[in-house]
Structure 1
Amino acid sequence: MHSSSWRRPAVRYGLLAAALLGTGGVQAASSVLIWPIDPVLEADQQASALWLENRGNDTANLQIRVFGWTQSGFDDQYQNQRDVIGSPPVARIEPGQKQLVRLTRTRELPPGSEQAYRIIIDEIPPAKRPEDASADGKTSAAIQFQMRYSVPLFAYGAGLWSKEDASRPRDPKSAGVPELSWRKVAEGGRSYIEIRNRGAVHARLTDVTVRQGGQLRPVAEGLMGYVLPGATMRWPVPEPLASGQELVLRVNGAPQTQSVRAGQ
């Protein structure tokens, strides 16, 4: 079991699959499909559903845990918590079969607040087979690879929401939005983009570019990362940023990119 607080979870057997972007599900080399990849717990929901499907040829043994997710020191930190429980905690899924994981909240959040969690799904390596033993009876050395999936989960208190849902007609203007600002930072001989979120909900940042004089220079194609409410995060850039540059990015999958104001 992990300690009560830890930084970005290490991948113990070598490979990380982060289910952070896209639509539908996410599928990696282990052939486990996960959907939705952006589950939420609305203020009036006691539980939400996460589906795991085994599209491979071997049985998948998975451990499911839900950690509290915060950000400090420009890094993600995960903590043990009991406010949202994933059930079952362990799943054995035969080829071609699906497993429902129920994400159940045990307490309500304060009105107008968002709480972030990470659903960590670890593939449990199978037990060694008798044929894996060498001629002298000793188990032969082999590298065991484990897949780890990390799925974000956001829960809301009364009066706040951020994800559109066709089954819940709501005025898009009432959705919670991030409030972002940025600055360039030079520290320890490296250059960074630092982004602060003063809004009520998280910001998922994709397709990040800097613009100067009508020219766009990509910083991160696809996902750069998240900034949770009240947090400040930074990302390295390969070369110092010139003065007068504008930061342009896409927030939470919006159809259009937006400019982020400078200054913190």
Structure 2
Amino acid sequence: MGVGAGSSRLGYNLLACAVALLGSAPLQAATSVLIWPIDPVLEANQKAGALWLENRGDAPANLQVRVFAWRQGEFDDQYQAQREIIGSPPVANIAPGQKQLIRLTRTGNSPVGQEQAYRIIIDEIPPALPAVASADKAQAAIRFQMRYSVPLFVYGEGLWGKPDASGPRGDSGVGKPALSWRQVSVQGKPYVEIRNSGPVHARLTDVVLQQGGQSRPLVEGLLGYVLPGAVMRWPAPQTMSAASVLKGRVNGQEPAQTLSQGQ
């Protein structure tokens, strides 16, 4: 899978951990890492793909790269160790202004007609603290450890993730999610449950609840993912009636789609 110069680039900053040591000292700036493509896939006819990391900061970036199997259960994301997809190199040292290619390679055949989901977790390895000059002058700093998380979807024979007008992947073989939703109450609070009975994931953005002539967002921007065969749950902004309508963008497609209401 090639990555052209015009590929979309976005720095995923999903978790920043600040660890404060005793004392008072200046804040240590975190490394700024750009990652692209933001939606990597391995199609059925691809053995390997590419993920690029670029250091936009002013200090070297030491990064650990791991790939986890991604499942959903109990209305939550679950990550598990796996050996089906290998990210190489597993550790990268990137100088300021430089880029590093991470090669994503599948070690075997994926299940026919299925989409497999993974999460690429990229952790910054902070540099060692300088030695303390003297015992009576304790030095300390707030150190930030950045974590980036990128979804990866891998396809087996007979199922495509994206169409390719210049190649063999036509629209007819591209998988589509099949979504339905229902309203539930958990400890007296309203929630929306969304089920995906299709063969591929659904990335949900700009999801709104329409009721009584009013439209209210569940969240601004990205709501989340629903993997094949999974059910996910999100808090609703208000108690719903039978006439409520749920609409949103699915996998970036326009216009917004009206989700069917299930039981």
TM-score using structure 2 length: 0.86
Match of 2:62 in 1: 61
Range with greater deviation from structure 2 (169-178 or 22-31): 22-31
Q: Say whether residues 1:198 and 2:197 are aligned partners.
A: yes
User: How do 1:34-49 and structure 2 match up within 5 A?
Assistant: 34-49=35-50
Match of 1:157 in 2: 156
Match of 1:72 in 2: 73
Residues in 2 aligned to 1:45 and 1:177: alpha-carbon distance in whole angstroms: 20
Long gaps (5+) in structure 2 = 1-6, 14-29
For the 8 Å contact 2:47–2:106, the answer to whether it is kept is yes
CA shift, 1:167, in A, is 5.0
Match of 1:117 in 2: 118
Match of 1:207 in 2: 206
- The size of the alignment, in residue pairs, is 241
Match of 2:23 in 1: none
Q: Deviations over 1:87-122 (max 9, x none)?
A: 000000000110000000001112110000000000
User: How do 1:87-106 and structure 2 match up within 5 A?
Assistant: 87-106=88-107
CA shift, 1:30, in A, is 2.6
Long gaps (5+) in structure 1 = 1-21
| Aligned residue identity for 2:10 | G
Indicate how the Cα distance of structure 1 residues 142 and 213 shifts in structure 2: closer, same or farther if over 3 A, else same: same
Q: Deviations over 1:26-70 (max 9, x none)?
A: 265631110001100111111000000001100000000000000
| Aligned residue identity for 1:24 | R
| Aligned residue identity for 1:67 | F
Residues in 2 aligned to 1:197 and 1:180: alpha-carbon distance in whole angstroms: 5
Range with greater deviation from structure 2 (140-149 or 194-203): 140-149
| Aligned residue identity for 1:97 | Q
For the 8 Å contact 2:206–2:217, the answer to whether it is kept is yes
Residues in 2 aligned to 1:102 and 1:137: alpha-carbon distance in whole angstroms: 48
CA shift, 1:86, in A, is 0.3
Match of 1:25 in 2: 10
CA shift, 1:235, in A, is 0.5
Percent identity over the alignment? 63
CA shift, 1:170, in A, is 3.5
Q: Say whether residues 1:228 and 2:213 are aligned partners.
A: no
Structure 1 residue matching 2:259: 3-state secondary structure = strand
Residues in 1 aligned to 2:253 and 2:72: alpha-carbon distance in whole angstroms: 23
CA shift, 1:127, in A, is 0.8
Structure 1 residue matching 2:143: 3-state secondary structure = coil
Structure 2 residue matching 1:26: 3-state secondary structure = coil
CA shift, 1:74, in A, is 0.2
| Aligned residue identity for 2:42 | L
Structure 2 residue matching 1:217: 3-state secondary structure = strand
State the Cα RMSD in Å: 1.9
| Aligned residue identity for 2:76 | D
Range with greater deviation from structure 2 (217-226 or 190-199): 217-226
CA shift, 1:162, in A, is 2.2
Q: Deviations over 1:148-201 (max 9, x none)?
A: 000000000001012244653633243100000000110112211100000000
| Aligned residue identity for 1:224 | L
Range with greater deviation from structure 2 (167-176 or 205-214): 167-176
Indicate how the Cα distance of structure 1 residues 120 and 166 shifts in structure 2: closer, same or farther if over 3 A, else same: farther
Residues in 1 aligned to 2:57 and 2:167: alpha-carbon distance in whole angstroms: 35
TM-score using structure 1 length: 0.86
Residues in 2 aligned to 1:164 and 1:211: alpha-carbon distance in whole angstroms: 32
